[in-house]
Amino acid sequence: MALTDFIVSFLCVSAVSAKCITDIDNAKIDLEAYIDFKIPDINPRFRLHYHVTPPVGWMNDPNGFSYHDGEFHLFYQFYPYDSVWGPMHWGHVSSPDLVHWNQLPTALLPEKEQCFSGSAVSVGDTMTLMYTAHEVTDVEPFYNESQYLAFSDDGVYFYKYDGNPVLPAAPNGSPDFRDPKVWKYGNEWYVVLGSKTVDKRGRVLLYKSKDLKEWEFLSVLGESQGDMGYMWECPDFFELDGKFVLLMSPQGMQPEGDRYKNTFQNGYIIGSFDYESNEFHPEVEFQEMDYGHDFYAAQTAEHKGKRYVVAWFSMWEVPHPEDVDGWSGAMTIVRELKLIDDRIVMKPLEEMLELRHHTVMHGRLRPQEVTRLPQATELIVDGNIRQRIELFLQGVDGGGKVWVRWDPAAGNVVVDRGAGDIRQVEWSPIGTTTWRIFLDASSLELFCGEGEVVFSSRVYPLGGWKLTNLSRQSLKIEAYHLKRSVPA
């Protein structure tokens, strides 16, 4: 069944007025028809096999990452009508296991407001979205941001709350007031929001509510002292292994050596928090969450005691080579989070093993030896880390290339896309020294050891991957062809 037919059927079933389909419902039907019409025009050369991507058009931040009524849900910033940023919608996928994903109809369409980022929670059988309404104004800075609610009785069709906005303005009047992340503690709801001070320092604000509609400002949960950027976007706040984590995306941080080299950053502060005082006390300073080129706006979800994270697998103000193919942007694979000592480690889900279709290689790759790999491949690499390790990955038919290196003298892992486009970080293994590399049609995700160092970088090879061992040592290689787990 096409999405268009599906949306017509559930809209009619869900209708509560004498008129079966409203104007906004018609707009949703038209949009799904447009998506169905445009999908055949997508060039598949860089289309990912097991990462969430938009069906057409543009994708950025993950939104509403949650578990509801037996399934995981992931929404995302979406502009369907071009492969560049435009008036924001909410795209929507669901999954039984965070690995296999189903495309669902677009959840939110802009009206007078653009539908910026937010989160999702379950209130009984109702799924509730809280998102930022970004509205253009006539007064400088020519926009305003407030918080809206939307509801769904079936997890698919959403309607906006008549009483919006539920949070009309930041306490200091800043127009930058966005990206609500909601959770429940006891009998009350809490939300963190990204904002800034009047002198342009990033901050995160904390509120609470009994009903998600009337909110009380509690505290400034965290704030830049002038060295951590002018705006803190996409905040998340959660307990992990006995500590509290403030996760956010600072804009405007200056590079410091190998750190903070992306356009904007994504990272976290570890500390303690008291629900009586509503104060967060940092204990470990800001750390980047992922050391690759393309990781932003990470959002977490909790289910059965496990904390998961997913991020936008791209970056602002950089080329997006897939945009000429009718789409742009992706999500990273979902990772499970653990707190070990003073840092978060990220590991691929066990369910990723289900994607292994067949073994491509299981043996040793000698120095200068070359092997070909499918577009969607999982690599497990073992070598002697007392010696240099270097892998060269390029397209069978040209296109993008990347070097992955371990330098024992410097103690650094390096991901190098050429022409000086390098990301690197010190690695001190806490257990295994194995690398696990997930390759897709236009991406690379490298997990070192127990996941204490992770790189997520977009790379655009043509015709599958060609792997060369540039090390002076033979490397033990396992390679598996991975099955598709997202819509083609």
> Distance between CA 149 and CA 166 in Å, rounded?
7
With b meaning 16 or more CB within 10 Å and e meaning fewer, what string describes 185-221?
A: eeeebbbbbbbbbeeebbbbbbbbbeebeebeebebb
Say if residues 470 and 368 touch (Cβ distance below 8 Å). Answer: yes
Q: Residue 28 to residues 73, 166, 455, 478, 485: CA-CA distances in angstroms?
A: 19, 24, 37, 46, 26
> Distance between CA 259 and CA 305 in Å, rounded?
32
Dihedrals φ, ψ of 5, to 5°? Answer: -65, -40
Say if residues 385 and 433 touch (Cβ distance below 8 Å). Answer: yes
Q: Which of 23, 30, 41, 61 is catalytic?
A: 61
Please confirm, yes or no, whether 41 is among the known catalytic residues.
no
Q: Give strand pairing partners of 307.
A: 302
Which helix (H) or strand (E) segment is 25 a member of?
helix 23-38
Q: Residue 170 to residues 162, 175, 373: CA-CA distances in angstroms?
A: 21, 7, 51
Q: Residue 479 to residues 64, 139, 361: CA-CA distances in angstroms?
A: 34, 57, 5
**Which amino acid is located at 249 in the chain?**
S
DSSP result, 230-282: SEEEEEEEEEETTEEEEEEEEESPPPBTTBS-SSS--EEEEEEEETTTTEEEE
Inter-axis angle of helices 23-38 and 3-14, nearest 10: 160
Q: Which positions are catalytic?
A: 61
